[in-house]
Amino acid sequence: MAARNKARKRAFQILFEADQRGAPVQTVLADWLRHARTDDRQPPVSEYTMELVEGYARYADRIDELITTYSVGWSLDRMPVVDRNIVRLGTYELVWVDGTPDAVVIDEAVQLAKEFSTDDSPSFVNGLLGRFKDLKPSLLRTDAE
């Protein structure tokens, strides 16, 4: 498994755990870092995982606002927890991270949905992130104002 793929999967797991625990993602990230240092059985937390989690935390309110605005027929609270966190992570990486092609970000999110969620989830994740890809220039322009 490629390093970035592992980093995304771990970032998703941290976001998911934070959501389940009702804890800040930074707290869960710190827990994962501490466990990785003290227990050889725990997977390491890569720099890219930390970048994704910290970046998501920086824009969490805006990301949730975007998801709420553009997910037709799904409120954030009604959305499956797995899907919500995959879309959160994908939205951060798609809109605010340069250097990774948009198609790769979307494909990786769809793969996470295939691995961890329902049969309908990959198309939901693909559709919503595809919409954000199309809106990306206007989303960034709005955030800069």
Asked if residue 86 lies in contact with residue 112, where contact means CB atoms within 8 angstroms, the answer is yes
Amino acid letter, 48: Y
Q: Residue 42: how many CA atoms within 13 Å on its side-chain side?
A: 13
> Roughly what angle, to the nearest 10 degrees, separates helices 121-144 and 81-96?
40
Cα angle: 81, vertex 84, 98; to 5 degrees:
145
pLDDT in tens, 25-81: 999 999 999 999 999 998 889 999 999 999 999 999 999 999 999 998 888 999 999
How much is the pLDDT for 144?
59
Nearest to 140 by CA among 66, 64, 55: 66
